[in-house]
Amino acid sequence: MIMRGLWRLAKCERAGIAEFGSDLNHFYASLAPLIGIPLAGAMVTALHGAWQQAVVGFLARLVVVLLLPVAVYEFARLFGREKFWLRTATALNWSFWVLFPALLVAAFFGAILAQCGLGITVAELLTLGIVGLYLLWYRLFALAAGLSVDFWKAGVILLVSSVAVLIATALPVLMGLGPQMTFPSS
């Protein structure tokens, strides 16, 4: 049902939201990989001796993962659509997996663009930009379909949650707690 729901939402079918469960067990199942994968990564990082990076990285990812459901709940409550928040948050958690087929398609089109003479860097940036826009559209559509609100309200939720995620992601790095960034010299 999850794959069918993701596919139906990807085709802009509002009814695809009904494929996602609307109880806590479904919500927890959607959170499990979003928390489990970074936890495994943090454990590997810690085993290599970078404890601070492991802890900060995992906690930052945990905050980012939980920001979206909290934002969906608060806006659903604000818009009088509280009864729909759990299904919507569940669908948005699962929407992470749309990234992989989108990147596969983008790689194919990027290769075609490069074969047609476009520089590889430009082709990569163009296709990654298109994937990013599509994923934003996907989330916007899932929010509108899930909460049964118009696109303006869904856009407000998307904008606020995206800014919150950007801040939560950048803050540890800006505070010097994240991984040390090194850039190759030219």
| Tens digit of each residue's pLDDT (9 = 90 or more) over 117-162 | 988 888 889 999 999 999 999 999 999 999 999 999 999 999 999 9
Domain ranges of the chain: 2-174
Distance CA 72, CA 140 (A): 12
Q: Structure pTM?
A: 0.84
Assess contact for 12 and 138: CB atoms under 8 A: no
* Of the candidates 158, 160, 134, the residue with the CA atom closest to the CA atom of residue 146: 158
Assess contact for 90 and 143: CB atoms under 8 A: no
